[in-house]
Amino acid sequence: MVPKRVLSVPHLSEGSNQDLSLESTLDELPLYDFSVESSSLGVEVARTFEKYPRLPGAILLDRGEFVGMISRQRLLEYLLRPHGMEIFLHEPLDVLYSYARTEVLVVPGSKPILTAAQQALRRSGELLGEPVVVETATKTYKLLDIHELNIAYWQIRGIETQVRYERAQAQMIQSEKMANLGRLVDGLAHEILDPVNFIWGNLTHLTNYSEGLLQLMAAYEAKLTDGSEEISALKQEMEFDFLQQDMSQAIGSIKTGAERLKKLATSLQNFCHIDEIYPKPADLNACLDSIVLLLKSRLSSEIEIVKNYGLLPPVTCYIGQLNQVFMNILTNAVDALLNEAVHQKLARSFNEEGEKNSTGKPRIEITTKVCSLDSDARWVSISIADNGPGLSPKAQKQILESFSIAKRSEKETSLALSYRIVTAKHGGKFLMRSCSGELGESLLGSGTEFEILLPLV
């Protein structure tokens, strides 16, 4: 008579007490710890299944090494077949396992629940009810009930849906705020343009009037043979000679100020353009000029702007959204260059060697052109490149990850928003190139470049 073998007692881990999230892994779920040697008899495992009705299966070991898994469903299925009791009940488990061998899904415990559930659902129909084998960090194997995995999966999907709903609501509110702000700024720019146009229109007349008066006074002075002492004293008191020379310069300065104010108000109107339902043709070079003008207060004399504009046809687009993309990229470039310029100034103040080895002036190059990526398609390329220190590999990885849908749900960055506007809204491409180096090197050697490609239709 074969002695009755005592199997280990199944143990169910409690899992994590934290709420599930989009990044939750299998290690956070309740896992069954029940391993048996493949030489154990089928009847011994059957008794354990009968004693623990929720136990989904057993991990099979051969001298302590993992060889597979047999589920409760699979064991009972073969025992209930004709003559199954006689054939399998008193035979070692490896006999049944070799006869009923099925594909076992083994996944690491660090795998996200969402990914593991999708992998389990891709199995064939007869395997959908089979438990999943989870390999822990200590190289031990545990069982995950497929129902527990499905419940966790749908809980997380519910969380994801809620997050997306809340984000959509927040975006709607933000869009409405931006639209209201755009209307407000547009109205303000319009109110500025009205008096500016009034000033600009009257400056022409004022110029003509002043020139006429000066000519009249010159004619009177030429006809008066004997100068009046009173007139001479008055001319000396008002510095007539200086006034005569400076009047045209003062009027010219007023014209220049009015022109700058007019350009600034027009740039505000262009930047706060409210997109309509359908895209419209736009002059991208003019839009870039408007945004550079709005950033002029931050540029001062520290940063040089180089414009290499090509001849662009009107591009059909949502120009209000593209303006936001250009603003985001240029703002990031200005921030990087200003930070590096300040850093180098501080370094030079403490180290005279730094002054000798100082590199070129911070620079942003904006290049626009029409190009062909393949034989039939034409694209408009807008490249914004700086000669800054470049991005570290870690920073580049974070930016590229933020372009994915999964990471975008965590935090909406300005570059991720720009990526979505260019790719999803305009069917274009959003490319990033960066190489670490010293400020002032060739743009081919260091710096960061963002290139936007928009299809020409």
Helix (H, G, I), strand (E, B) or coil at 132: strand
State the Cα–Cα distance between residues 401 and 8, nearest whole angstrom.
Answer: 45
State the Cα–Cα distance between residues 275 and 279, nearest whole angstrom.
Answer: 7
Conformational region of residue 332, where left means phi above 0, alpha means psi within -120 to 50, and beta covers everything else: alpha
Per-residue pLDDT of 190-249, as tens digits, reads 777 777 777 877 877 888 888 888 788 778 777 776 667 777 787 788 777 788 778 878
Radius of gyration of the chain (CA): 38
Which range among 19-28, 84-93, 329-338, 407-416 shows the weakest confidence by mean pLDDT?
Answer: 407-416
Higher pLDDT, 26 or 79: 26
Per-residue pLDDT at 406 exceeds 90 = no
pTM of the shown model = 0.50
Per-residue pLDDT of 54-98, as tens digits, reads 888 888 888 888 888 888 887 777 777 766 676 667 777 777 777
**Strands 11-12 and 32-33, bridge-based pairing:** antiparallel
Per-residue pLDDT at 443 exceeds 60 = no
In a 13 Å sphere around the CA of 303, the CA atoms on its Cβ side amount to 28
Question: What local confidence, expressed as pLDDT, does residue 154 receive?
Answer: 87
State the Cα–Cα distance between residues 89 and 92, nearest whole angstrom.
Answer: 8
What tokens were used for 31?
Answer: 């896992």
User: What's 422's DSSP letter?
Assistant: I
State the Cα–Cα distance between residues 124 and 103, nearest whole angstrom.
Answer: 10
Query: Which amino acid is residue 178, in one-letter code?
Result: M
Residue whose token pair is 């408009």: 380
Q: In the predicted model, what is the mean pLDDT of residues 418-440?
A: 79
